[in-house]
Amino acid sequence: MSKISLIMLLLCLSGCNAEISNITWGFFGINHILSLILASGIIYTLYKFLENKQEKLQILTLGILSFSGIFAIIYNLIIWESPIEYLPFHLCSLNAMVLPIAVFTKNKHLNNLLLLWSLGAILAIVVNSAQANYEVFSLTFAIYYFPHVLEFGIPILMFKLNLVEKDISCIKNTLIITLISYTIIHLINVTLNNYLELNNILDYAGNLIQVNYMYSIKPENPVMSLFYQILPYEYWYMYLAIPIILIYLLLIYLKEFKQFIKFRFNN
């Protein structure tokens, strides 16, 4: 091969690599849809791998993977120039911190709680408009995508593998804990934002830092924006998600509700 041909080949490969590295995630484009299919495939593959394994191996595997969210929290606090905006107060971060405890203890109440909290991880991947410009072969994308996949997948697998029992009696506590958590996070948002504004604390780009954990201050995706158009008040607008939450829980616990109703009618 001549030197000119070799140079042309290297330039071609360099151009191809540049094009591949610049592929963005997108919002309901082909890349986004493929990522959703991949997420389902990851969880299904993990289930098939663990299906007939001993319980100790199942717990150990899921337990190790459950730390991915904590790793992502630490990564975001260290790597970005504005760690105040990456404190672990989003629902996904709360999920990530509770998940290892839920897995290793097999606590029924925590695992049932995470069935709801995992909804936040699902929405973070499905309604990804704020992250649509992430390059799919970047570390930033990997740190965002894979922990979120595991944060909704592992709680499901805990029940699918019969490591813990779904219990409709836990729903009440799940809703109460979630509402209290949301309210506390909103108070943190308000307090932090007042402090940041009063002291004029800026990020690396010179912009005033303002936080919006659990999106209690303002919407940041199309679904939340719709809620805010209907009820344009911070904190309160997210209460419009309650019907969606109740429908989600009904579907999750449908089998258990049927068994409960059947038991009541037979007695």
Asked if pLDDT for residue 260 goes beyond 70, the answer is yes
Cβ neighbors of 163 (< 8 A, separation 6 or more) are: 55, 58, 59, 62, 106, 157
Q: How far is CA 146 from CA 75, 206, 243, in A?
A: 13, 31, 28
DSSP of the chain, one letter per residue? --HHHHHHHHHHHHHHHHHHHT-B--SSSHHHHHHHHHHHHHHHHHHHHHTTS-HHHHHHHHHHHTTHHHHHHHHHHHHSS-GGGGSS-SHHHHHHHHHHHHHHH--HHHHHHHHHHHHHHHHHHHS-GGGTT-BTTSHHHHHHHHHHHHHHHHHHHHHHTTSS---GGGHHHHHHHHHHHHHHHHHHHHHHHHHHHHTT-B-TTSPBP---GGG-SS--SHHHHHHHHHS-STTGGGGGGHHHHHHHHHHHTHHHHHHHHHHHHH-
Position 10 in a domain? no
Average pLDDT over residues 78-102: 92
Q: Between helices 171-198 and 108-126, what is the axis angle to 10°?
A: 60
Per residue in 171-184, pLDDT (tens digit) is: 999 999 999 999 99
Model confidence, pTM:
0.88
Asked if pLDDT for residue 59 goes beyond 90, the answer is yes
Position 223 in a domain? yes
DSSP of 133-162, one letter per residue? T-BTTSHHHHHHHHHHHHHHHHHHHHHHTT
DSSP of 203-223, one letter per residue? -TTSPBP---GGG-SS--SHH
Position 207 in a domain? yes
Distance, in Å, from the CA atom of 111 to the CA atom of 62, rounded to the nearest integer, reads: 13
The mean predicted confidence, pLDDT, of the chain is 91
Q: Between helices 139-160 and 68-79, what is the axis angle to 10°?
A: 160
Q: Report the domain count for the chain.
A: 1
Task: Work out the pLDDT band at 12, boundaries 50, 70, 90.
Answer: very low
Position 1 in a domain? no
Cβ neighbors of 184 (< 8 A, separation 6 or more) are: none
Per residue in 190-242, pLDDT (tens digit) is: 999 999 999 999 988 889 999 999 999 999 988 899 999 999 999 999 999 99
For 192, list phi and psi in degrees, rounded to 5.
-65, -45
Distance, in Å, from the CA atom of 193 to the CA atom of 100, rounded to the nearest integer, reads: 31
Query: Which residue range forms the structural domain that includes residue 63?
Result: 27-266
Position 14 in a domain? no
- The lowest-confidence range among 5-14, 183-192, 236-245, 253-262 is 5-14
Task: Work out the pLDDT band at 21, boundaries 50, 70, 90.
Answer: low
Per the structure block, which two tokens stand in for 130? 């704020």
Asked if pLDDT for residue 62 goes beyond 80, the answer is yes
Comparing CA positions, the residue from 152, 115, 120, 118 lying closest to residue 253 is: 115
Position 21 in a domain? no
Task: Work out the pLDDT band at 261, boundaries 50, 70, 90.
Answer: confident
Position 133 in a domain? yes
Size of the chain, expressed as the number of residues it contains: 267
CA angle 114, 134, 69 (to 5 degrees): 25
Asked if pLDDT for residue 2 goes beyond 70, the answer is no
Per residue in 26-48, pLDDT (tens digit) is: 999 999 999 999 999 999 999 99
Which of the pair, 82 or 174, is modelled with greater confidence?
174
- The lowest-confidence range among 77-86, 94-103, 135-144, 162-171 is 77-86
Chain-centre distance for alpha carbon 108: 21
Q: Tell me, what's the pLDDT at 109?
A: 97
pLDDT exceeding 90 applies to what percent of the chain? 80
Position 17 in a domain? no
Per residue in 123-142, pLDDT (tens digit) is: 999 998 889 999 999 999 99
